[in-house]
Amino acid sequence: MTAADSPGGLRGKVAIVTGGASGLGRATALALAEAGARVVVADLDAQGGREVAEMIDGHFRACDVSDLDANRALVDFAQEQYGGVDIAFLNAGVATGCGVGDDFDLARYRRAMGANLDGVVFGTHAMLPALRARGGGSIVATASLAGLAAVPLDPLYAANKHAVVGLARSLGPALAPDNVRFNAVCPGFAESRIIDHLRGLLSEQGLPVIPAELVADTVLRIVTGDGTGECWFIQPGRDPEPFRFRNVPGPGKPVGV
């Protein structure tokens, strides 16, 4: 049974997918369309984005997610084309390309934070009025296993992905009164442009790359489910599921309880 055939099917729903020209965004745009949703594909890659939009009889909109006004214009475009927005997959992201030592590069740092963190914050801010106007909806942001664990080789990427995880955990309950669910997906090394510079190393170490379709299927599970504030990990050989965080000890609370 597909998401389109299930009680929580997506027929009649409108979805926006950022970073939709390739990788996880492309796979999710295709899956959402197959499940019955009408999809707006957003990306800086106009050629790739238009190709995906044509495949699913959707619409393409060029969008720099690090620009707040561009996010607002994207939502306006979706409303003009389809009358509203029900689902947002805030997926656009880039590799950091530098660290905090001698290799620090301010432009690369700003670019990574702009796409990976601002893109989620700005996208959420822009989407909320449209979702509230429909009586609620679902936002899923792409984080990473780098948002759940230490990444000594790329601490800045870990920092912006930890921030996305923190947003998901916090915005889930914060947006619940508006009937807006906010969750994150946290894949390991998944098929996308971000791992292009790591492919040789992954192959040498025998580490499998997660198919983009598995991430897309997980996004659909989240969208058609009822959870909020969850961060779903995705690893080869394991069924994706929400990560179970330990409670932080409070005043007078024994450690580990």
CB 119 within 8 Å of CB 161: no
Which of 59, 52, 97 shows the shortest CA–CA distance to 77?
59
Q: Would you call 157 a catalytic residue per the annotation?
A: yes
45 half-sphere exposure, CB direction, 13 A CA radius: 17
Which of 16, 103, 109 shows the shortest CA–CA distance to 56?
16
Q: Which residue in the list 157, 182, 232, 233 is annotated as catalytic?
A: 157
Give the span between the Cα atoms of 138 and 61, in whole angstroms. Answer: 20
- Measured CA to CA in angstroms, residue 57 lies from 35, 36, 39, 201, 216 at distances of 13, 11, 8, 38, 18
- The SS3 call for residue 174 is helix
Give the span between the Cα atoms of 241 and 180, in whole angstroms. Answer: 20
Largest CA distance in the chain: 58
Within a 10 A sphere around the Cβ of 182, how many other Cβ atoms? 28
Q: What is the CA radius of gyration of the chain?
A: 18
What dihedral angle (degrees, nearest 10) is formed by the CA atoms of 208, 15, 113, 167? Answer: -90
Active site residues: 157
